A and B are shown apart, each in its own frame.
Chain A
């Protein structure tokens, strides 16, 4: 056998297991079963005292969450495997947050160890997950047989505030307790109580924030800020005619024609990136070209994007910092990334195969969720170092 393959195996094993750290207290747990009951009871009381004292001190000193930087692993590694399909993901501080619209739950995992910290059941489908100022977690929930809701959670998901929402699922956190969301008649400013505190949420409609022609307009799957204005994806109420509008500026729109429906949207820098698709003879294409839009929703797509055959088959788009991530239907290019600021590429293939459900990223690491299993009922979150060319 070649020495080259031997060396490659050594390197691969080394890198693949480098992140592993044994859980604490292995020796104590192992020997506990052997000790007489009165020793175990004594140890338990002592351990409780230590844990309570440490937790109290940490809680008092750290402002409720650890600000200790989490070391980033050097290569791709599986962070979390779930037995439910993940639909949304976010990352902040030491946590990876996952939401499952099918299972009606939101969960936080420690991104260094992959252990689940807490799981929260919700009434309805959590269709929007965002981390806002103060690392508070915002969840937009579309009710099944119940009203739409907004959930504001502490970073460890331990404390929560809930409010009914007249808006759709998507929202944009604007401060620790306020967020913007969209309703058919305009943009709403929602003020939530702090997580864990009693109080009622208040909702105020932003002035001059109409989205279109009254009852024929319904907010869709995306809301974001663009040049200090609110951009909203809207449909005709039946899910068709999907286009982007600037609230309060009825003349500024993009898409909506059968040949150019707006699918997913992401914001990077001062531009929007829209995944578009066509409807021909009542058949909806699963993918389509990626388009960059300026503050007036004019297409300003760089030539290297227009000519890229992989990006012509875009399925979904996410952004983090200046990196744009696109899942595609192009064989061999399940997930690609590029730098939003770049005018000439390159477009880097990060993942060759698999079905990408969500991407969340820190400055150096992307957490890519792929769905697996029978009927795509499970998910795997894998961390990848963000390629230098995509930053």
Chain B
């Protein structure tokens, strides 16, 4: 690489490596694995940097490679931990910890999801991607992203202990109203 490319690549890595590593970690659920994947993806990007840079899509290119590698690693790794049962959650919530226990329980449930469903959630809620952008990153159709997203959210509603989902409550009420109306 020329010196200009070298500097450009270093700037790119400095600017985007933290966000990329966080994404890979959340999908692969293992920091050591995520660091290895990021290094491997950056190796590949560096080899093709002049052309990657010319296309003006370096971020998307590296992100795409990393997300797919992380999903693959997450698949091999399998789901982690066990979902926390409602009776295993603390009876005495610590007011000073705020939503800490709740977030920990939610993350524990996210770890139970298959890697491709977890990846959709991470791309949508952590990276803030739209459905088409998430589909492009994952290399699948928008329809697939939608169905994985729906399945992941439905599974989370089942797994998260003590969850009183507003949407579910409303739909049940709606259903009951419908049945009553039919009667």
Taking Cβ atoms with an 8 Å cutoff, the residues of A that contact B are: 1-2, 4-6, 8-17, 20-23, 26-31, 33-34, 75-76, 78, 114, 331-333, 346-350, 352-353, 385, 387-389
Most central of A22, A331, A350 by chain B CB within 10 Å: A22
Q: Which of B1-22 contact A (CB under 8 A)?
A: 1, 6, 9-10, 12-14, 17-18, 20-22
Q: Least Cβ distance of A37 to chain B in Å?
A: 16
Q: What total of A-B pairs shows CB separation below 8 Å?
A: 134
Q: Least Cβ distance of B5 to chain A in Å?
A: 9
What are 16 A-B interface contacts by the 8 Å CB criterion?
A8-B106, A13-B26, A16-B107, A20-B18, A22-B17, A22-B21, A26-B13, A33-B43, A34-B1, A114-B31, A332-B91, A347-B92, A352-B84, A352-B89, A352-B90, A353-B88
Interface contact B47-A34, CB-CB below 8 Å: yes
Interface contact A332-B90, CB-CB below 8 Å: yes
**Among candidates B18, B38, B82, B122, residue contacting A13 with C-beta atoms closer than 8 Å:** B122
Interface contact B103-A15, CB-CB below 8 Å: yes
Interface contact B46-A332, CB-CB below 8 Å: no
Interface contact A20-B22, CB-CB below 8 Å: yes
Is B167 interfacial (CB 8 A cutoff)?
Answer: yes
Is B156 interfacial (CB 8 A cutoff)?
Answer: yes
Fill in one digit per residue for B111-131: 1 if any A CB lies within 8 Å of its CB, else 0: 000000000011001100000
Is B153 interfacial (CB 8 A cutoff)?
Answer: yes
The 4 A-B residue pairs with the shortest CB-CB distance, nearest first, are A349-B90, A388-B96, A30-B42, A17-B22
Q: A12-B106, A26-B39, A332-B91 are in contact. Are A75 and B126 (CB under 8 A)?
A: no
Q: A22-B17, A349-B91 are in contact. Are A8 and B6 (CB under 8 A)?
A: no
Interface contact A5-B156, CB-CB below 8 Å: yes
B84 partner residues in chain A, CB cutoff 8 A: 352-353
**Among candidates B13, B39, B103, residue contacting A16 with C-beta atoms closer than 8 Å:** B103
Most central of A13, A16, A350 by chain B CB within 10 Å: A13
Q: Least Cβ distance of A27 to chain B in Å?
A: 4
Q: Least Cβ distance of B125 to chain A in Å?
A: 4
A350 partner residues in chain B, CB cutoff 8 A: 90, 94
Q: Least Cβ distance of A71 to chain B in Å?
A: 15
Q: Least Cβ distance of B45 to chain A in Å?
A: 7
Is B99 interfacial (CB 8 A cutoff)?
Answer: yes
**Among candidates A12, A26, A333, residue contacting B110 with C-beta atoms closer than 8 Å:** A12
B177 partner residues in chain A, CB cutoff 8 A: none
Q: Least Cβ distance of B146 to chain A in Å?
A: 11
Residue of A nearest to B150 (CB): A1
Interface contact B97-A385, CB-CB below 8 Å: yes
B90 partner residues in chain A, CB cutoff 8 A: 332-333, 348-350, 352
Residue of A nearest to B98 (CB): A75
Q: Least Cβ distance of B106 to chain A in Å?
A: 5
Q: A12-B107, A12-B110, A353-B82 are in contact. Are A20 and B43 (CB under 8 A)?
A: no
- Provide the main secondary structure of the chain B interface: helix
Complex Cα spacing A30 to B100, Å: 37
Q: A27-B10, A349-B91, A352-B88 are in contact. Are A17 and B39 (CB under 8 A)?
A: no
Q: Least Cβ distance of B34 to chain A in Å?
A: 8
A16 partner residues in chain B, CB cutoff 8 A: 26, 103, 107
Complex Cα spacing A337 to B84, Å: 20
Q: Least Cβ distance of A385 to chain B in Å?
A: 7
Interface contact A1-B46, CB-CB below 8 Å: no
Q: A4-B165, A16-B107, A22-B18 are in contact. Are A29 and B39 (CB under 8 A)?
A: yes
Interface contact A9-B125, CB-CB below 8 Å: yes
Q: Least Cβ distance of B70 to chain A in Å?
A: 12
Q: Which of B125-156 contact A (CB under 8 A)?
A: 125-126, 150, 153, 156
Interface contact A1-B153, CB-CB below 8 Å: yes
Interface contact B126-A14, CB-CB below 8 Å: yes
Interface contact A31-B94, CB-CB below 8 Å: no
Q: Least Cβ distance of B107 to chain A in Å?
A: 5
Interface contact B126-A27, CB-CB below 8 Å: no
**Among candidates A2, A9, A34, A332, residue contacting B89 with C-beta atoms closer than 8 Å:** A332
Q: Least Cβ distance of A66 to chain B in Å?
A: 22
Interface contact A31-B1, CB-CB below 8 Å: yes
Complex Cα spacing A373 to B156, Å: 25
Q: Least Cβ distance of B102 to chain A in Å?
A: 7
Residue of A nearest to B43 (CB): A30
B92 partner residues in chain A, CB cutoff 8 A: 346-349
Q: A5-B157, A20-B31 are in contact. Are A30 and B46 (CB under 8 A)?
A: yes
Complex Cα spacing A51 to B21, Å: 26
Complex Cα spacing A292 to B168, Å: 49
A15 partner residues in chain B, CB cutoff 8 A: 103
Interface contact A9-B121, CB-CB below 8 Å: yes
Q: A30-B43, A348-B94 are in contact. Are A6 and B125 (CB under 8 A)?
A: yes
B25 partner residues in chain A, CB cutoff 8 A: 17, 20
